[in-house]
Structure 1
Amino acid sequence: MTTETAAELPVAAPPGNGLYAWYVVMVLMMAQMFSFIDRMIMGLLVGPIRTSFNISDTQFSLLAGLAFAIFYAVMGLPLARIADRRSRRVLIAIGISFWSVMTTLCGFAQGFWSLFAARVGVGVGEAALGPAAYSMITDYFPKKSLARALSVYTIGVTVGSGLAYIIGGKIVHYALSLGTIDIPLLGHTEGWQITFFAVGFPGILIALLMMTVREPARRGRIQAPGTLATATPPAIPVREVVAFLVARKGAFLSHILGVSIYIMAVFSLNIWGPEYLIRTFGFARADAGLTFGIVMIVMGTSGLMCGGLLADRWFSRSTFDAYSRVIILSMLCMLPFAAMLGFANSVTLGIICLSGAIFFSAFQGGIAGGVIQLMVPNEMRGQAVALYFLIANLVGLGFGPTVVAAMTDYVFKDDAALNKSLALTSATLIPLAAVILLSGLGKVREAVRSAQEWTT
């Protein structure tokens, strides 16, 4: 027996992509779904929170974006080091429980800063999910079907966001109709606060479901001769992880920076989508949530699956930069739909533009982090993808919605000009992102090809 405790040893799990592996993906997808319900519900509460706290679009965007993103990103790295060595399922279960509690606490906020602090807590909890989930899925599936598995996992993003707007819209409509009510122990409570109570608590049930998942055996490890495959992976020093990434800096920098800038446009659309319908076409808040939620679920999920299938097909032909090519295709196809948001003069055209933009933007959802998984050995997967999440979320989620809000507040100086702000943001950021990604395509291809020596 080695010096590792039994609790530290990974549990053997069926290899390949059988039914149990897909069960694991479905549980992780549900965790992702609830994380996005908790994350995206803010998109329906723009008006009520602004009114309650007397804040601007820019201040609200800090609550919806930066408060969550900065700690989600920063906490990702230390939590990823845990994921690279310890039980990933336990880490995820703890993270789900924590962010669910913090979402509920958002409902107790009495001002801008208390809500800011609670949103920080949501970000810290959700930071546990991504790196650990990507690492687990990569161990459960062979390369030939990895993109599809990651895309199914990421369906939690589109379904979670959609349900946040559909169900959340109904909850918000009902809660706001109550006005200010007195709840025992809580005192005066506004309708929007009840929304956080309703969406936060169910996450605890998903944390319990996560504990039914078996920890997979780690594949694709840097392993010394004679080392047991089931032994706890050695702690790779941070300096070695940094050295590995620096040696392939062209591939990592171009991919992470290009996708991060692209995600600024993607998250801007996701956060401000319902408000676009409200301000541009006069939708009621519940109707905007229903409409945008349906678009997210139908078009976003379709886009994820199309992107995953296309990436798997190209990769199976030894096109090592297949994932990156699909992301570039996503950018080129999203651009005209997003740019047209500023010119759509009817509800029908506006919804068509939203649908096209959401569909093509979703191509990258599952595979952007998958590129990172293909370039690194097992012991670094969590940390490498956490670095990607750190930058992508700081840049994309942290600043994307704020750029749109700042354009509305300070460039156009008109709340009704949100459509122009969304269009201008996309028309500026997406071409820049595509150029950066194209510049490193050859380096990504070489990094993925050389990493095949770790595959098992």
Structure 2
Amino acid sequence: MATVADGAAPPAPAYSPSYRTAVLWLLVAAYTFNFIDRTIISTIGQAIKEDLKLTDQQLGWLGGLSFALLYTTLGIPIARLAERRSRVNIIAISIVIWSGFTALCGTATSFLQLLLYRVGVGVGEAGLSPPAHSLISDYFEPRKRASALSIYAFGIPLGTMFGAVAGGWIAQNVSWQAAFMLVGLPGIAVAIAIKLFVKEPPRGWADRQLAGETAAPAAAAEPTPSILAVARRLFGSWGMFHMAAGVTMASFAGYGAGAYVPPYLIRQFGMDLATTGLVVGLVAGVANAAGTLAGGFLTDWAGKRSARWSALIPAIGLLLATPLYLYAFSRDAWQVGVAFWLVAGVLHYTYIGPSFGVVQNAMDVRMRATAVAVLFFVLNLIALGFGPPFTGWLIDTFAQLSWAGAGGAGAFTKACPGGIGAEGGPVALDAACRAAMAAGTRSGVLGTSLIYAWAGVHYLLAAITLPRDIAAARASV
């Protein structure tokens, strides 16, 4: 019997199903805090806007490009490091950085300060998903990856829900500054748990287990492919390109419209911050979680017949969700709108698991972290960087147009600092400001929601050649 001393390769480590599940849920916890810290600004944005006298476009920059700029650009070098070094260490350090900067956001007293701290949050969060996707792909074989990645993506609705509920309640009862501090710091405990509990698996462990290999690969036996080679695999075929375009446009609409749903409820229906957080948190948590999990498990089930379903399931979901969103955000009773928003959210979020499952299945084992970072670079620079500012610009524009109808084109921002009447000013002026702001917000959210259909068309186009493209990618490994 060969031993390590005899010169044979050491045996591959054994990871039980229960251990791998525990690792996955620890990563879900990390992604939950990632999204709490990333999206809380949308829930408490109205309080920040009024306190710091911001426009909606400025609010969009805080939730968009300020965060996305270094988040996207640092993602690639961090992912390249993750192809060679401990992914567990990178994740743990990253969580500590973004949690600290989130807490610092609570000390900001100006737009510029808050903008800079949001950049810091983006720096930290750049180090989570690329190495996390790579770890998950080494723990779970190809036929289970869409499901595993959809469970990881469960952190999105969980983070949105907890961030909305907790952030809204704290901002309502204490202050928006306290909300940042109290949701930021607990993430450090998750970083410690990941460092102590999660083991670094050999590259390609799950693929080798599926193939029946019992020996661990030699260290650094496989070279790390270039970024150009990864980009070619990711965007170089019809099916993969349209999958990337679909996830980008779906995210653009999601980040853009989603950032202003809490302000929409406040401005259109007069909700307070705590009630808004509760409504947004529960609807987003339930709907988005159900859609995310359903998309992953449906794809793994249907994918046994054809890989085409990795594109068709998101296409169907997004195309059905679009008219439901339009109906939901044009109702005069928020209760009716919420019911349709709930159904639309389930359908909409089916795209996440299939999209990232395709990326991981089409990549070599030392391409996986880089592939996620390259995709996130494109996706988040466009979607997260410009989705919220785009919707904010639409809202400001429509509010100006609504104000012009009352006789004052171009004077809205001056007359209504922060979207409300000046303190101590006429009650009628404040009412007119709020009415224009409400009308502009509804139109901006509706306009951005149309982009979901655009994303659905890309997924339909991807379905035409996707099975052939994935097979060709695997054959080139």
Which TM-score applies when normalising by structure 2?
A: 0.84
Give the corresponding residue for 2:373.
Answer: 386
CA separation in 2, counterparts of 1:279 and 1:324?
37
The answer as to 2:371 corresponding to 1:372 is: no
The answer as to 2:159 corresponding to 1:160 is: yes
Which structure 2 residue ranges, 5 or more long, are not aligned?
1-9, 209-214, 401-435
User: Is the Cα–Cα contact under 8 Å of residues 13 and 215 in structure 1 kept in the other structure?
Assistant: no
User: Is the Cα–Cα contact under 8 Å of residues 95 and 126 in structure 1 kept in the other structure?
Assistant: yes
Give the corresponding residue for 2:422.
Answer: none
Partner secondary structure for residue 60 of structure 1 = helix
User: Is the Cα–Cα contact under 8 Å of residues 255 and 387 in structure 2 kept in the other structure?
Assistant: yes
Q: Residues 154-303 of structure 1: matches in 2 within 5 Å?
A: 154-175=153-174, 191-211=175-195, 212-219=197-204, 220=207, 229-232=217-220, 233-245=222-234, 248-303=236-291
User: Is the Cα–Cα contact under 8 Å of residues 324 and 371 in structure 1 kept in the other structure?
Assistant: no
**Equivalent residue letter for 1:125:** G
Could you give the per-residue CA deviations for residues 53-73 of structure 1, whole angstroms, max 9, x where no partner exists?
Answer: 221000111001111112111
Partner secondary structure for residue 388 of structure 2 = helix
CA separation in 1, counterparts of 2:150 and 2:286?
14
Could you give the per-residue CA deviations for residues 8-33 of structure 1, whole angstroms, max 9, x where no partner exists?
Answer: xx995435x71111111100000000
Give the corresponding residue for 2:81.
Answer: 82
Cα shift at 1:41: 0.9
- Describe the shift of the 1:284–1:52 C-alpha distance in structure 2 as closer, same or farther (beyond 3 A): closer
Which of 320, 336, 350 in structure 1 is aligned with 2:337? 350
User: Is the Cα–Cα contact under 8 Å of residues 152 and 305 in structure 1 kept in the other structure?
Assistant: yes
Q: Residues 22-171 of structure 1: matches in 2 within 5 Å?
A: 22-171=21-170
Which of 431, 448, 467 in structure 2 is aligned with 1:425? 448
Cα shift at 1:44: 1.9
Cα shift at 1:127: 0.9
**Equivalent residue letter for 1:46:** G
- Describe the shift of the 1:380–1:127 C-alpha distance in structure 2 as closer, same or farther (beyond 3 A): same
CA separation in 1, counterparts of 2:43 and 2:232?
43
Which structure 1 residue ranges, 5 or more long, are not aligned?
1-9, 176-190, 222-226
The answer as to 2:425 corresponding to 1:436 is: no
Q: Which moved more, 1:297-306 or 1:250-259?
A: 250-259
User: Is the Cα–Cα contact under 8 Å of residues 252 and 384 in structure 2 kept in the other structure?
Assistant: yes
Give the corresponding residue for 1:312.
Answer: 300
Give the corresponding residue for 1:186.
Answer: none
Partner secondary structure for residue 85 of structure 2 = coil
- Describe the shift of the 1:333–1:107 C-alpha distance in structure 2 as closer, same or farther (beyond 3 A): same
Q: Which moved more, 1:354-363 or 1:118-127?
A: 354-363
Give the corresponding residue for 1:181.
Answer: none
**Equivalent residue letter for 1:238:** I
Give the corresponding residue for 2:386.
Answer: 399
CA separation in 1, counterparts of 2:185 and 2:156?
19
CA separation in 2, counterparts of 1:37 and 1:245?
29
User: Is the Cα–Cα contact under 8 Å of residues 66 and 399 in structure 1 kept in the other structure?
Assistant: yes
Cα shift at 1:452: 4.3
User: Is the Cα–Cα contact under 8 Å of residues 102 and 122 in structure 1 kept in the other structure?
Assistant: yes
**Equivalent residue letter for 1:216:** P
**Equivalent residue letter for 2:187:** G
In our comparison, the structure showing a higher alpha carbon Rg is 2
**Equivalent residue letter for 1:214:** K
Percent of aligned positions with the same letter in both sequences?
33
CA separation in 2, counterparts of 1:327 and 1:385?
19
User: Is the Cα–Cα contact under 8 Å of residues 246 and 458 in structure 2 kept in the other structure?
Assistant: yes
CA separation in 2, counterparts of 1:128 and 1:40?
17
User: Is the Cα–Cα contact under 8 Å of residues 164 and 281 in structure 2 kept in the other structure?
Assistant: yes
CA separation in 1, counterparts of 2:217 and 2:393?
52
Partner secondary structure for residue 109 of structure 2 = coil
**Equivalent residue letter for 1:236:** P
**Equivalent residue letter for 1:425:** T
Give the corresponding residue for 2:425.
Answer: none
Q: Which moved more, 1:41-50 or 1:19-28?
A: 41-50
CA separation in 2, counterparts of 1:11 and 1:354?
51
Could you give the per-residue CA deviations for residues 243-280 of structure 1, whole angstroms, max 9, x where no partner exists?
Answer: 5446x343332221222112111122332222222122
Partner secondary structure for residue 198 of structure 2 = coil
CA separation in 2, counterparts of 1:206 and 1:144?
29
**Equivalent residue letter for 2:185:** F
User: Is the Cα–Cα contact under 8 Å of residues 60 and 390 in structure 2 kept in the other structure?
Assistant: no
User: Is the Cα–Cα contact under 8 Å of residues 97 and 207 in structure 1 kept in the other structure?
Assistant: yes
Give the corresponding residue for 1:447.
Answer: 469
Partner secondary structure for residue 316 of structure 1 = coil
Cα shift at 1:341: 3.1
User: Is the Cα–Cα contact under 8 Å of residues 338 and 422 in structure 1 kept in the other structure?
Assistant: no
Give the corresponding residue for 1:184.
Answer: none
CA separation in 2, counterparts of 1:335 and 1:230?
50
CA separation in 1, counterparts of 2:52 and 2:11?
49
Aligned residue pairs, count:
423
**Equivalent residue letter for 2:465:** K
Cα shift at 1:242: 4.2
**Equivalent residue letter for 1:323:** S
User: Is the Cα–Cα contact under 8 Å of residues 13 and 216 in structure 2 kept in the other structure?
Assistant: no
Partner secondary structure for residue 64 of structure 2 = helix
CA separation in 2, counterparts of 1:109 and 1:443?
50
**Equivalent residue letter for 1:203:** G
**Equivalent residue letter for 1:450:** A
**Equivalent residue letter for 1:193:** Q
